[in-house]
A = this chain, B = another copy of it.
Amino acid sequence: MKSTDVFFVSDRTGITAEALGSSLLSQFESVEFNKIHLSFIDTLDKAIDAVEQVNRASSKAGSPVLVFSTQINHEFRVMMSKSDCVFFDFFDTFISKMERSLELKSSHTAGRLHGLSHNSNYTDRISSINFALGSDDGLGAKSYENADLILIGVSRSGKTPSCLFMALQYGINAANYPLIEQDLDNTRLPESLQPYKHKLFGLTINPIRLQKIRDERRSNSNYASLKQCQNEVKRAEDLYHTNHIPFIDTTQTSIEEISAKIINKLSLR
C-alpha cells in the first residue's frame, strides 16, 4: 500500500486543518496516510522547527510530503510554503477572494474562533454539558421543560454520546429518556414524556450490534441476550411508529451524523 506523511499545521488547535484535510484524504482510499499534528505553531522557533520536520520527512520519503495549513501568520505561512512539500493553504487560498467580495481587509488574527463550529458561546456549551450530564443522572422529568430536545431509546442505543456531542458542538440542551421494560409493555408514550411530544426523537439500533455492546458491559446476562435485544428494539420501534416520533438508526452512523440529522430534522438551528 502506498503510504505518505501528511502534516497538519496551525497557529492554534489544528482542528480545522485536520477536519478539512482528513475529508480530502478520505477521497484516496488506496493510500495510507501517516498524520503528524503540528499545533500551536505560534513562534518563530516553532515555525522553523516545523519547516525542518517537513523537509526531513520529504527527504526521507524521496518526494514532497503533504502539508495542510490553516496558519494565519503571514511570515510563518510563507516559510512553510517554500519548504519541500505540497502545500495546501486553507487560509490564504480563500481570504483574498473574501476580501474582494466583502470589500474589506481581513484582520489576520489567529484564533478568534477555535476551529469547531459553534454559534453558541462557551458558557452555553458548558451549561449544555451540565444539562446533559444532569439528565443522564436521572434528573429526568425535571429537565424536560428546559430541554431543546429529548432523545429516547433502549439502553445502549447511543443516547448519552449524542446528547454530549450536541452540547459540546452546538450548545444544545439535549435530555435523554431510557426506554425500560415497563415503558415497552404497550405502545403508549410514557406519562412523563407526553407533554413534550414535539421534543422527542427516537434512536434505534441493529439488535445484533446492541447485543455485542451490552455483552461487553454485562456478559451472558439476560440484558445482553439477543432475544432481549431484538424484543426491546422491536417494541421501541413500534412505539415510535404508533406515536409518530421521528427516529434514526445509529448502527452505522457516526455521532456527528446522528447529531446533525436530529438537529436538521427538528430545525434546531
Contact = CB atoms under 8 A, between A and B. Distances in A.
B22 A95 contact: no
Contact of A104 (B31, B93, B98): B31
Contacts of A175: none
A169 B164 CA distance: 12
14 contacts: A16-B19, A19-B20, A19-B116, A19-B117, A26-B112, A27-B98, A27-B109, A66-B101, A88-B97, A114-B257, A129-B160, A129-B161, A168-B168, A168-B255
A104 B40 contact: no
A126 B161 contact: yes
Interface residues of A, number: 73
Contacts of A37: 264, 269
Contact of A165 (B4, B133, B158, B168): B168
A13 interface: yes
Contact of A260 (B4, B14, B108): B14
A125 interface: yes
